[in-house]
Amino acid sequence: MTASHRDSQGRPIVAVTGLGLVTSLGQGKDANWEALTAGRSGIHRIERFPTEGLRTTIAATVDFVFDRPFAAPELSEKLATLAAEEAVGQSGLGEPGDFPGELFMAVPPVEMEWPQKQEIAQAIEGDADYDALLRAAATHKYKAMHELFLFGGVAEHIAEKFGTKGSPISLSTACSSGATAIQMGVEAIRRGETQAALCIGTDGSVHAEALIRFSLLSALSTQNDPPEAAAKPFSKNRDGFVMGEGSGALVLEDYDHALARGATILGIIAGCGERGDGFHRTRSSPDGKPAILAMQDALADAGLTPEDVDYINAHGTSTPENDKMEAMSCSAVFGERMASLPISSNKSMLGHTLTAAGAVEAVISLLTIANGRIPPTINYQQPDAAIALDVVPNQARDAKVRTVLSNSFGFGGQNTCLVLTAEPKVP
Amino acid sequence: MAHDVLITGIGLASSLGEGIEPHAQALAAGTAPIVDETSFAPYPLHPLKPLELDRQIPKKSDQRQMEPWQRLGVYTAGLALDSAGLKDDAQIKSELQVIVAAGGGERDHAVDAAILTGLRGANQPGPFLNERLMGDLRPTLFLAQLSNLLAGNIAIVHGVTGASRTFMGEEQAGVDAIRTAHARIASGQAQVMLVGGAYNAERRDMLLLFELGGFLRTGAFAPVFAREDAPGMITGSAAAFLVLESAEHAKARGARAHARLSQVGAHRSRRQPGSVAKGLDELLAGFGSIAPGALAVSAATGCAEITAEEAAAIAAAAPKARRVATGDLVGHAVEAAFPVSVALAAAALSTGAADEAIVTGAAHWRGEGAARLVKV
């Protein structure tokens, strides 16, 4: 290694050398990219569980990885495994089962699910209350359920499988979790604590109670027919998000480390910004200030200005409130330029992959840079005059994209923004 | 490049009460713990000494929107902010970053029991489940259950809006939260952080999860390192939050430091006999020589084998240290166990009971952590 490269603030540059993706549209970057740029939706009628009595009966579930019943952590782990195998494989870093870096994972919160509780309840006579469940549990006949429903289980299994180093992080920042996982990898590399990081967002938690919880908060679209038209980010008739599943994985690596081993550089995570919002548990500050600051922080962290951004990968959930707040915040950051700056929402096709979304959309942002083509916001038939944006409506668009801002906003006042760029031009 | 990391705020709440004083006192005197052996029999646990919530969570509407674990955490975070003199510093709070170690919120036990009982006789279990959940779940219960909503409520109640991250993963989440906050300040990525966790032990749903794996002690209380007759955890409701701050930042605002957090480490490996001792040996060896008069605070669980391995690691690294098990004072607080242990050690240093302390903890299932604190 000759020169050591540093970013505008004198820190190690964080390169991306591996990408993996699995969503309702398919397994792998190629299958997903083909579908996304063709404007295809992965949203369909739910077949995993009965939907009688539910207001929402559609989701972008991943139904092709198991042919047996499974609990949410099992699907989350499987999706993460598939995405990580693709990412680590592409990076060529380490040996199978021996990844020379730390693991940062966005995983959905876990709790014991109904099928397992029902299994125990079958052994109970009389009321199946928690005291009775405890007595049944004390027989220790259901030992495997303990590990299955630990919060740290999925990341532990991934750490074991891929041989990552150090203590694996399982994190949640609600719907911005995937972006936070990437941010934590960036920070660890900038600290010089590790030369590489495996950052994953995964979510395979569409089950009846999960859907009902969002439904009771009136967060979901109820326009079930046709399913593929339900997610309508930035449209006037948008009425909620659609739950989705998937996983995105990124191998992050110290740029000089990647160069020294001759790795292909897929892009740079140039900046991260995050801000809390103390306004409300589910609603954003009406002035959009936390989101605005998170975007500005990410650009400042990258040493860039709004003028440098070529495209925004929107959070764009398709809820009335998010899309309005996001559009307003973007206008505050980008000013008049916002009328012509392309911004599109992958969620129009993938649904909202919740915990995974920030990572899934970061992967797609880097594919957008690599391919010079912007995936569209589909189902854009009724523009909302109040939020005039170039949403790349319905059709993918060729464009030279070097710098992407990817937004993630979540319940609990979580706002995380990433700036992703093409490989630096060699000086 | 490396900045000294100081503990300038300590928030603690447990069965012993709240604040530094009752905890430092119990640590020094070795008073008998508060144990409830009947309410959740056969599982003993340490119940939270009731909090005057209004003192840290003034709005009843905020109190209502939280479950006990969130109220406990938000309350204790407020204690830490008070202790650090930051409660009324809107400027610092608007930049203050937070890491919370959290599990999830409590189930509605009555709803679950009624549905489970009904499901056994239901002709169409799926539609029955849908109907009952749609009808019986309180819509806002979800927000009281989401892991990251403890951090969200800290933002809302205390106006701490820097940014927050929530780590999950039982005991190791608490270790990694403190490790990460320490690393960010030491490297200059942050100047001041609020870090901690909260655990409500008085929940049958959590007892169920641990009993499924056979990790709970039943019957009477026994000290953590003397449970060979019936190994396992005795859980306790407890929370700890710490304000960590760079020495420069603390000095500039004239903050008093309770202790310096000199090192924090975490380790994982597939568990096998000896792996906990080996992991802790490595972490403690990395801290350099430990003073003979040091205090050793252990977040050990009381589970079979790993607790004895932790005892061996402490004895090897600090043979003359006075060893105190956090579990003997306040019970095992899972995600909060390590933060509570670091807070106890900081309280001991702050009150002059020791000049140096090490903290260890082997999680009940996976992961080990250690920290070292020294007098300022």
Count of residues for chain A?
Answer: 427
The residue-averaged pLDDT of B7-24 equals 98
Q: Is residue A427 part of a domain?
A: no
Q: Are residues A187 and A252 part of one domain?
A: yes
Question: What are the distances in angstroms from CA A290 to CA A12, A96, A329, A409, B189?
Answer: 27, 41, 9, 10, 20
Q: What is the largest CA-CA distance in chain B?
A: 69
Q: What values do phi and psi take at A338, rounded to 5? A: -60, -25
Q: Residue A1's pLDDT is what?
A: 46
Interface test with B, best of A142, A215, A281 (most B CBs within 10 A): A281
Q: Are residues A251 and A198 part of one domain?
A: yes
In chain B, the DSSP E strands lie at 5-14, 17-18, 97-101, 163-168, 192-199, 238-246, 259-267, 295-298, 322-325, 356-362, 368-374
Quote the number of domains for chain A: 2
Cβ contact B168–A151 (<8 Å)? yes
Q: Residue B287's pLDDT is what?
A: 96
For residue range B79-112, list pLDDT tens digits in order: 999 999 999 999 999 999 999 999 998 899 999 9
Distance, CA of B24 to CA of B32 (rounded, Å): 14
* Last residue within a domain, chosen from A148, A173, A206: A148
Distance, CA of A426 to CA of A5 (rounded, Å): 11
Closest Cβ–Cβ partner in A122, A138, A173 for B211: A138
| Contacts (Cβ under 8 Å, ≥6 apart) of B70 | B105, B144, B149, B150, B153, B198
Closest Cβ–Cβ partner in B104, B109, B125 for A130: B109
Q: Is a pLDDT exceeding 50 seen at residue A301?
A: yes
Distance, CA of B108 to CA of A363 (rounded, Å): 38
Inter-residue contact A405 to A284 (CB < 8 Å): no
- The CB density around residue B286, as the number of other CB atoms within 10 Å, is 12
Q: Are residues A246 and A234 part of one domain?
A: yes
The DSSP letter of residue A175 is: B
Q: Is a pLDDT exceeding 90 seen at residue B326?
A: yes
Q: Are residues A318 and A215 part of one domain?
A: yes
Q: Residue A426's pLDDT is what?
A: 61
Q: Residue B1's pLDDT is what?
A: 55
Cβ contact A167–B179 (<8 Å)? yes
Measured between CA atoms, how close is B188 to chain A, in angstroms?
9
Q: Is residue A6 part of a domain?
A: no
Q: What values do phi and psi take at A299, rounded to 5? A: -65, -40
Instruction: Quickly state the pLDDT bin for B194 (edges 50, 70, 90).
Output: very high
Peptide bond into A226 cis (omega under 30): yes
Q: Is residue A315 part of a domain?
A: yes
Inter-residue contact A409 to A284 (CB < 8 Å): yes
Angle at the Cα of B138 from the Cα atoms of B133 and B139, rounded to 5 degrees: 95
Residue of B nearest to A184 (CA): B180
Distance, CA of A89 to CA of A85 (rounded, Å): 6
Q: Is a pLDDT exceeding 80 seen at residue B182?
A: yes
**Per-residue tokens: B357:** 């302390």
Q: Please report residues of B whose CB lies closer than 8 A to that of A187.
A: 184, 189
Q: What ipTM was assigned to the predicted interfaces of this complex? A: 0.97
The neighbouring-strand residues paired with A414 are: A276, A410
The neighbouring-strand residues paired with B46 are: B236
- CATH number of the domain encompassing residue A401: 3.40.47.10
Write the DSSP string, B45-91.
Answer: BBPPPPP-GGGT---HHHHHTS-HHHHHHHHHHHHHHHHHT-TT-HH
Distance, CA of A321 to CA of A342 (rounded, Å): 20
The DSSP letter of residue A39 is: T
In A5-85, the DSSP E strands lie at 14-23, 26-27, 44-45, 58-59
Q: Are residues A362 and A274 part of one domain?
A: yes
CA-nearest of A265, A240, A313 to A36 is A313
Inter-residue contact B196 to B242 (CB < 8 Å): yes
Measured between CA atoms, how close is A108 to chain B, in angstroms?
9
For residue range A225-242, list pLDDT tens digits in order: 999 999 999 999 999 999
Q: Is a pLDDT exceeding 60 seen at residue A427?
A: no
Instruction: Quickly state the pLDDT bin for A282 (edges 50, 70, 90).
Output: confident
Q: Is a pLDDT exceeding 90 seen at residue A3?
A: no
Inter-residue contact A168 to A156 (CB < 8 Å): yes
* Last residue within a domain, chosen from A97, A123, A148: A148
Q: Residue A424's pLDDT is what?
A: 86
Instruction: Quickly state the pLDDT bin for B140 (edges 50, 70, 90).
Output: confident
Interface test with B, best of A46, A111, A119, A418 (most B CBs within 10 A): A111
Q: Is a pLDDT exceeding 70 seen at residue A54?
A: yes
Closest Cβ–Cβ partner in B98, B156, B169 for A152: B169
Distance, CA of B328 to CA of B221 (rounded, Å): 9
B5-105+146-374 CATH fold: Peroxisomal Thiolase; Chain A, domain 1 (3.40.47)
Distance, CA of A100 to CA of B65 (rounded, Å): 43
Closest Cβ–Cβ partner in B139, B151, B211 for A134: B211
**Per-residue tokens: A232:** 């309508």
> Is A400 an interface residue toward B (CB < 8 Å)?
no
Q: Is a pLDDT exceeding 70 seen at residue A335?
A: yes
Cβ contact B205–A208 (<8 Å)? no
Q: Is a pLDDT exceeding 80 seen at residue A372?
A: yes
Cβ contact B189–A187 (<8 Å)? yes
> Is A138 an interface residue toward B (CB < 8 Å)?
yes
Reduced to 3 states (helix: H, G, I; strand: E, B; else coil), residue B267 is: strand
The DSSP letter of residue A412 is: T
Q: Are residues A223 and A144 part of one domain?
A: no
**Per-residue tokens: A2:** 């000759």
For residue range A80-98, list pLDDT tens digits in order: 999 999 999 999 999 999 9
Question: What are the distances in angstroms from CA B172 to CA B70, B105, B272, B341?
Answer: 19, 18, 17, 13
Q: Please report residues of A whose CB lies closer than 8 A to that of B173.
A: 151-152, 170
Q: Are residues A200 and A185 part of one domain?
A: yes
CA-nearest of A31, A161, A176, A217 to B138 is A217
Distance, CA of A125 to CA of A114 (rounded, Å): 18
Distance, CA of B258 to CA of B247 (rounded, Å): 12
**Per-residue tokens: B203:** 């929940």
> Is A11 an interface residue toward B (CB < 8 Å)?
no
Q: What values do phi and psi take at B55, rounded to 5? A: -70, -30
Write the DSSP string, A321-344.
Answer: HHHHHHHHHHHHHHGGGGGTSBEE
Q: Are residues A188 and A143 part of one domain?
A: no
Could you identify the residue written with the tokens 């990076």?
Answer: A91
Active site residue A352: yes
The residue-averaged pLDDT of A260-279 equals 96
Peptide bond into B42 cis (omega under 30): yes
Count of residues for chain B?
Answer: 376
Q: Is residue A174 part of a domain?
A: yes
Distance, CA of A394 to CA of A377 (rounded, Å): 5
Distance, CA of B108 to CA of B111 (rounded, Å): 5
Q: Are residues A127 and A233 part of one domain?
A: no
> Is A425 an interface residue toward B (CB < 8 Å)?
no
Q: Is residue A9 part of a domain?
A: no
Residue of B nearest to A274 (CA): B163
**Per-residue tokens: A92:** 């060529």
Q: Please report residues of A whose CB lies closer than 8 A to that of B153.
A: 281, 412
> Is A34 an interface residue toward B (CB < 8 Å)?
no
Interface A–B counts its CB contacts (< 8 A) at 245
**Annotated catalytic residue within A257, A315, A330, A417:** A315
Q: Is a pLDDT exceeding 50 seen at residue B202?
A: yes
Write the DSSP string, B272-297.
Answer: -TTHHHHHHHHHHHTT----TT-EEE
Q: Which of residues 69 through 108 in chain A touch B, CB cutoff 8 A? A: 107
For residue range B256-267, list pLDDT tens digits in order: 999 999 999 999
Q: Are residues A262 and A252 part of one domain?
A: yes
Could you identify the residue written with the tokens 């490269």?
Answer: A5
Distance, CA of B285 to CA of B318 (rounded, Å): 10
> Is A280 an interface residue toward B (CB < 8 Å)?
yes
CB-count exposure of residue A10 (10 Å: 0-12, 13-18, 19+): exposed
Distance, CA of B274 to CA of B316 (rounded, Å): 14
The whole domain housing A131 covers 114-148
Q: Is a pLDDT exceeding 90 seen at residue B12?
A: yes
Interface test with B, best of A212, A282, A415 (most B CBs within 10 A): A212
- Amino acid occupying residue B65: Q
The neighbouring-strand residues paired with B357 are: B295, B373
Closest Cβ–Cβ partner in B103, B130, B172 for A208: B130
Radius of gyration (C-alpha) of chain A in whole angstroms: 21
- The CB density around residue B219, as the number of other CB atoms within 10 Å, is 14
For residue range B41-93, list pLDDT tens digits in order: 999 999 999 999 999 999 999 999 999 999 999 999 999 999 999 999 999 99
CB-count exposure of residue A419 (10 Å: 0-12, 13-18, 19+): buried
Inter-residue contact B278 to B342 (CB < 8 Å): no
Cβ contact B146–A174 (<8 Å)? yes
Interface test with A, best of B61, B99, B148, B270 (most A CBs within 10 A): B148
Q: At what angle do helices A153-162 and A72-91 cross, to 10 degrees?
A: 30
Closest Cβ–Cβ partner in A50, A142, A173 for B127: A50
Using the CB atoms, write b or e for A86-125: b if 16+ within 10 Å.
bbbebbebbeeeebbbbbbbbbbbbbbbbebbbebbeebe
**Annotated catalytic residue within A199, A272, A330, A352:** A352
Radius of gyration (C-alpha) of chain B in whole angstroms: 20
Q: Is a pLDDT exceeding 90 seen at residue A58?
A: yes
**Per-residue tokens: A18:** 């591996």
Q: Is residue A7 part of a domain?
A: no
Q: In terms of pTM, does the model score above 0.95?
A: yes
Q: Is a pLDDT exceeding 60 seen at residue B317?
A: yes
Q: Please report residues of B whose CB lies closer than 8 A to that of A72.
A: none
CA-nearest of A313, A286, A316 to A298 is A313
Question: What are the distances in angstroms from CA A46 to CA A25, A43, A214, A227, B153?
Answer: 15, 9, 15, 10, 33
Distance, CA of B248 to CA of B260 (rounded, Å): 13
Q: Are residues A265 and A132 part of one domain?
A: no
Q: Are residues A154 and A143 part of one domain?
A: no
